[in-house]
Chain A
Amino acid sequence: MQLLLKYKSTLLAIAMLFTITSAMAQTDQDAIMMNKNLFCTGLMYGTSSWNKYWEGTNNRENLNLGTISSNSLSVMGNYGVKDNLNILFNAPYISNKASAGVLHATSGIQDVSAWVKWMPIEKDLKHGTFSMYLLAGASTPLTDYIVDYLPMAIGNKSNTLSGRIMLDYQLNKFFATASETYTIRGNTSIERNAYFTTKMFLTNQVALPAVNTLNFRTGYRSDWLIAEAVLTQSKTLGGFDITKNNMPFPSNEMNATSLGVNFKYEIPKVAGLSLVGGGNQVIEGRNVGQSTGYYGGFFYILDFTKKNKKKSESKTTSTQNK
């Protein structure tokens, strides 16, 4: 669900955010489905920070911010409507602060996001299994948080709508997944009624450019362990550069390429309980923080099938893993 956050939040805010809720086992980003009537829910803690950012293409530090750090706690869930149709949600609480300067810290519940994840194709090939996923997502702010306060604002307070296509190939215990996501973002209302981007606007409405994201992940995937490396490249389709020594603005062009690793481990002794963790580093960007992040959390599966009340470990993994 890391990417969903990225879409709706300001990327500079997000460049510190976007590692915080990295991949869980059943997320909108991976090629895994919950079986029908299973509900996976969990909590994730994330922390990320940066002390350098890109002002346009210029990588700089800001002694009046020092290190910007972001902590988050997210509630997540994934319900199997059918074996090949899941719905997912995520809602984070976020707090941001700067180590230097006098700017006040921020915190609050950010946006709720939800996805419908559909797997129309799953095919056993001569070698391995191929599957295709189509996803539609939306997000909306849960609280009336401050927007015009970058890089410390917790989000953009904008409604978003996303579409994603995802392809997965698994051979024995090894897999590769690629996806592309397109997100449109509704206008956001900032607290002032005039602002300058590359020209003056006399309104509190700010148009946010759409975002396109490519995600590639590969690694080991079995019933009890997932270990993967992730490459993500996100670009706003439009927006402007932060001018020299200016503050960032929600409609900046914000691009980021990040590398990360994710782990998920099913605890053998407790059916349905899994631990997740990982890390993430922004390696290249434009008008975003060069952030490093870590996360960890746990998930638990509740079984709502009528005939079978006990939690079933075997049902926690992908249908194509068999």
Chain B
Amino acid sequence: MKKIYLYGSFIITSIMLVACVKQVESRTDNLPALQPINADLTAGTWKTILLKRPDTFAVATPLAVSNVNYVAELNEIKGLQKNLTSSQNENINYWAAGGVLRWNETMRELVAKYNLPPYQNADGTYPIPSSTNPFAYPLFPFANPPYSARAYAYISAAQYDALVACWYYKKLYNRPAPSTTDAAIVAKAGASQLPSYPSEAAVIAGVTAEMMKLFFPTEIGAIEQKAKLHEDAAIMSGAATRSDIVAGEALGRQIAQVFIARGRTDNAGKAVGTPTDWANFETNTKVKGEIPWISQDNPKRPGMLPLYGNVVPFLFDTATSRALVPPPPPLTGSDKMKQEVAEVYSFTNQPSPENWKLVLFWGDGAGTYTPPGHWNAIASEDFIKLNLSEVKWARNLALLNMSLMDAGIVCWKTKYTYYNPRPSQLDPRIKTLTGLPNFPSYISGHSTFSGAAAAILGYLVPNRAAAYTQMASDASKSRLVGGLHYRADCEMGLQVGAQVGQYAINKAKFDGAN
């Protein structure tokens, strides 16, 4: 009898256990096809970021739909649609959720893959990833938060300008979608009222693939394959013909060059600095009578991208980015600072499980898509519900990512202006609940990024504004209770971030997309 009871309970346990061993799926694995509520047919008039005009790059007049060569293109689609394999159908469904979304996810994935600090040399120095020798260890790039914020911003901004140009030509040439012209073609990703020439999928694929060459040079092969899959999906789903794709891809790649040219001269290439620069930060801080930041990595690692604060911002000029640097933190010898240190110790001495979870949730450290990536994930999952057009998607993500990049610039300028030590440097009893970043404390990067993101997202999705504010507050608080930052770093970070976000809001108000 006992035996039966025992075995019975084991069988029940087994069933319960097996029930929770299931395939892990991502939240965006099985999205429905994007069906924009508003096709934004006039988006060709929206204000671009770097492009002077939407027609800076010419797109040739397409063939008439009655032209025999165009009819051949329609036949290509019909032939493909007759014999779609399951992997081709999967590919169609994957991209149908939205090209801007999928490439944003791809960017986040690459950032996570490349966000690893280089391992030290035998002599205790550190190798620096090189864009001219990207395949040698350490692989280029080290996609840390400032690097990735800039990558997200450039790629999103370039996608936006490219799609504005795309929409301009769509309206100009007004070539109907293949399924409209030929009833035998099935609109497998949903019917679209949008003119198909040039293909928005190909514009996004072209501009993104081209931009990625700058930011993830070791991934070019994989990215080009992915761009091809994106275009294949557009053709096979009946959304675009071959000539829509060719024109779109060319337009995207050309527009990318404008952004790449800016990227090569925006001072990011000099952000690592030199050993002299590194020594000067320390000396200058000591001259002021302050305790300088010291790396707590072992061996000591030069601070992360110390001259990133000189990168040319998107939303304002360099003088403004200087002006946004906040006043100094409490002096390292002051009573105020002693209180701040004591507060951090009080949180980390006996950490509560709730706080620890918060710290890990918002940690976004090495090997992750970084805090800017986290905000892209938050934004994307909200945008999915809004059924935005591709061009509106790109516009919103461009505004978000320009905010994040510029927040990073002001934050980094602040960090290396004051060169303020971390709590665990001033009080070695303080242990951190997640990895300690290797750069000065004031102001908190997480807080600055989050303040900026919450501001612009609150404008873009007003009914979520309170939620974004709460998330920013949580992200900021996590750095205090995790032992990484003082309260002053977090509070000022949120404030500075919100100020940066306001510039994006001001831009958004007048870009014609509202």
A161:B13 contact, CB within 8 angstroms: yes
B21:A245 contact, CB within 8 angstroms: no
B296's closest neighbor in chain A, by CB?
A102
Instruction: Point out the residues of chain A lying under 8 angstroms from B57, CB to CB.
Output: none
- Minimum CB–CB distance for B7 against chain A, Å: 8
Is B266 part of the binding interface, using a Cβ–Cβ cutoff of 8 Å? Answer: no
Instruction: Point out the residues of chain A lying under 8 angstroms from B431, CB to CB.
Output: 102-105
Q: How far is the CA of A83 from the CA of B361 in the complex (A)?
A: 50
Is B191 part of the binding interface, using a Cβ–Cβ cutoff of 8 Å? Answer: no
- Minimum CB–CB distance for A219 against chain B, Å: 31
A245:B118 contact, CB within 8 angstroms: yes
A208's closest neighbor in chain B, by CB?
B21
Is A195 part of the binding interface, using a Cβ–Cβ cutoff of 8 Å? Answer: yes
For the residues of B in contact with A, the DSSP-based class is: loop
Is A160 part of the binding interface, using a Cβ–Cβ cutoff of 8 Å? Answer: yes
Instruction: Point out the residues of chain B lying under 8 angstroms from A12, CB to CB.
Output: none
B10:A196 contact, CB within 8 angstroms: no
B349's closest neighbor in chain A, by CB?
A104
Instruction: Point out the residues of chain A lying under 8 angstroms from B2, CB to CB.
Output: 81
Interface string of A181-222 (1 = CB under 8 A from B): 000111100111111100111110111000000000000000
B24:A206 contact, CB within 8 angstroms: yes
- Minimum CB–CB distance for A164 against chain B, Å: 13
Given known contacts A63-B299, A200-B26, A246-B116, is B360 in contact with A148 (CB within 8 Å)? Answer: yes
Interface centre among A64, A102, A200 (most CB of B within 10 A): A102
Sampled A-B contacts (23; CB under 8 Å): A63-B298, A81-B3, A85-B3, A100-B298, A101-B298, A102-B430, A146-B356, A159-B17, A159-B20, A160-B17, A184-B18, A184-B21, A186-B20, A187-B22, A187-B24, A196-B368, A196-B369, A200-B109, A201-B26, A202-B27, A203-B25, A203-B27, A207-B23
B22's closest neighbor in chain A, by CB?
A187
A194:B369 contact, CB within 8 angstroms: yes
B483:A104 contact, CB within 8 angstroms: yes
Q: How far is the CA of A247 from the CA of B10 in the complex (A)?
A: 36
A245:B117 contact, CB within 8 angstroms: yes
A184:B17 contact, CB within 8 angstroms: yes
Q: How far is the CA of A149 from the CA of B434 in the complex (A)?
A: 8
Is B137 part of the binding interface, using a Cβ–Cβ cutoff of 8 Å? Answer: yes
A195:B10 contact, CB within 8 angstroms: no
Given known contacts A191-B357, A202-B27, is B10 in contact with A116 (CB within 8 Å)? Answer: yes
Instruction: Point out the residues of chain B lying under 8 angstroms from A149, CB to CB.
Output: 360, 434
Instruction: Point out the residues of chain B lying under 8 angstroms from A243, CB to CB.
Output: 116, 367
A194:B21 contact, CB within 8 angstroms: no
B360:A195 contact, CB within 8 angstroms: no
B116:A196 contact, CB within 8 angstroms: no
Is B36 part of the binding interface, using a Cβ–Cβ cutoff of 8 Å? Answer: no
The answer, among B3, B20, B119, for a CB contact under 8 Å with A244, is B119
Interface string of A122-145 (1 = CB under 8 A from B): 000000000000001010000011
Q: How far is the CA of A203 from the CA of B30 in the complex (A)?
A: 13
Instruction: Point out the residues of chain A lying under 8 angstroms from B367, CB to CB.
Output: 196, 243, 246-247
Is B306 part of the binding interface, using a Cβ–Cβ cutoff of 8 Å? Answer: no
A118's closest neighbor in chain B, by CB?
B3
The answer, among A144, A196, A244, A245, for a CB contact under 8 Å with B109, is A196
Q: What 4 pairs across the A-B complex have the smallest Cβ distances?
A: A191-B360, A196-B112, A200-B109, A202-B26
Instruction: Point out the residues of chain A lying under 8 angstroms from B382, CB to CB.
Output: none
Is A34 part of the binding interface, using a Cβ–Cβ cutoff of 8 Å? Answer: no
The answer, among A116, A201, A202, for a CB contact under 8 Å with B6, is A116
Interface string of B414-443 (1 = CB under 8 A from A): 000000000010000011111110000000
B110's closest neighbor in chain A, by CB?
A200
Is B268 part of the binding interface, using a Cβ–Cβ cutoff of 8 Å? Answer: no
Q: How far is the CA of A138 from the CA of B422 in the complex (A)?
A: 44
Interface centre among B10, B118, B366 (most CB of A within 10 A): B10
Is B14 part of the binding interface, using a Cβ–Cβ cutoff of 8 Å? Answer: yes
Is B277 part of the binding interface, using a Cβ–Cβ cutoff of 8 Å? Answer: no
Instruction: Point out the residues of chain A lying under 8 angstroms from B296, CB to CB.
Output: 101-102
Interface string of A228-257 (1 = CB under 8 A from B): 000000000000000111110000000000
Q: How far is the CA of A191 from the CA of B367 in the complex (A)?
A: 15
Instruction: Point out the residues of chain A lying under 8 angstroms from B118, CB to CB.
Output: 245
Is B297 part of the binding interface, using a Cβ–Cβ cutoff of 8 Å? Answer: yes
Q: How far is the CA of A200 from the CA of B104 in the complex (A)?
A: 12
Instruction: Point out the residues of chain B lying under 8 angstroms from A282, CB to CB.
Output: none
- Minimum CB–CB distance for B467 against chain A, Å: 15
A205's closest neighbor in chain B, by CB?
B24
Instruction: Point out the residues of chain A lying under 8 angstroms from B377, CB to CB.
Output: 193-194, 202
Given known contacts A146-B360, A191-B361, A202-B377, is B112 in contact with A104 (CB within 8 Å)? Answer: no
Instruction: Point out the residues of chain B lying under 8 angstroms from A104, CB to CB.
Output: 348, 351, 431-433, 483
B21's closest neighbor in chain A, by CB?
A186
A64's closest neighbor in chain B, by CB?
B298
Q: How far is the CA of A148 from the CA of B360 in the complex (A)?
A: 7
Is A88 part of the binding interface, using a Cβ–Cβ cutoff of 8 Å? Answer: no
Within 8 A of A (CB), among B2-57: 2-3, 6-7, 10, 13-14, 16-18, 20-28
Instruction: Point out the residues of chain A lying under 8 angstroms from B369, CB to CB.
Output: 194, 196, 200
Q: How far is the CA of A276 from the CA of B105 in the complex (A)?
A: 54
- Minimum CB–CB distance for B286 against chain A, Å: 23
Instruction: Point out the residues of chain B lying under 8 angstroms from A43, CB to CB.
Output: none
Is B113 part of the binding interface, using a Cβ–Cβ cutoff of 8 Å? Answer: yes
B424:A102 contact, CB within 8 angstroms: yes
Q: How far is the CA of A218 from the CA of B491 in the complex (A)?
A: 63
Is A87 part of the binding interface, using a Cβ–Cβ cutoff of 8 Å? Answer: yes
Q: How far is the CA of A207 from the CA of B20 in the complex (A)?
A: 10
- Minimum CB–CB distance for A284 against chain B, Å: 22
B298's closest neighbor in chain A, by CB?
A63
Q: How far is the CA of A193 from the CA of B373 in the complex (A)?
A: 12
A163's closest neighbor in chain B, by CB?
B14
A200:B116 contact, CB within 8 angstroms: no
Q: A103-B431, A207-B23 are in contact. List 6 more A-B contacts (CB 8 A).
A: A104-B433, A186-B17, A186-B21, A192-B368, A194-B369, A245-B118
A136's closest neighbor in chain B, by CB?
B10
Given known contacts A104-B348, A146-B357, A146-B360, is B105 in contact with A200 (CB within 8 Å)? Answer: yes
Interface string of B337-378 (1 = CB under 8 A from A): 000000000001001010011001101101111000010010
